[in-house]
Amino acid sequence: MIAAAQRLRETGGTPGSSGFDRLFGHIDESADLDDPAYVLARQLAIDEVVELVAASAEKDLIDPEEAEAWLKVLGMTLSRLSAELGIVTEADRAELAAQDEAVVRVIYALEVGLIDALDQSD
């Protein structure tokens, strides 16, 4: 999780990359630039989630707020990875190399496990 959080931080610093475009793409595709206040707010929100995950990743037990942050990092990681691998449709995913497909499955499994744990904590 620490590596995933760090990779998201790095992606935020590489404008023009496929991962950056997927995570930080224009909200209004017809506009040349998004509202700078919104761009800053989105970046700060991502930074906050990444920091929370990095701080909690080595704990034996995480609280629900940390689990929610982990889910966000996993979702953003899946989105970034999908962009980097060119996954847009299920057909694209079906053509993945075995190692890439295994990574996607692990991310999904972690998401399902966290969702289940959060459901049981209510």
DSSP 1-41: -HHHHHHHHHHHT-TTSHHHHHHH--SSTTSSS--HHHHHH
In this predicted model, what pLDDT tens digit does every residue of 83-106 receive, in sequence order? Answer: 999 999 999 999 999 999 999 999
Q: Which of 73, 78, 81, 84 is nearest to 18 (CA)?
A: 84
Look up residue 64 and give its amino acid.
P
Structural domain span for residue 63: 2-121
In this predicted model, what pLDDT tens digit does every residue of 29-79 receive, in sequence order? Answer: 776 777 778 777 888 888 899 999 999 999 999 999 999 999 999 999 999
Q: pTM value?
A: 0.84
DSSP designation for 15: T
What is the total count of domains within the chain? Answer: 1
Q: How high is the pLDDT of residue 49? A: 92
How far is Cα 56 from Cα 74, in angstroms, rounded to an integer?
14
Where is pLDDT greater, at 41 or 110?
110
How far is Cα 108 from Cα 78, in angstroms, rounded to an integer?
8
The answer to whether residues 111 and 79 touch, using CB atoms and an 8 Å cutoff, is no
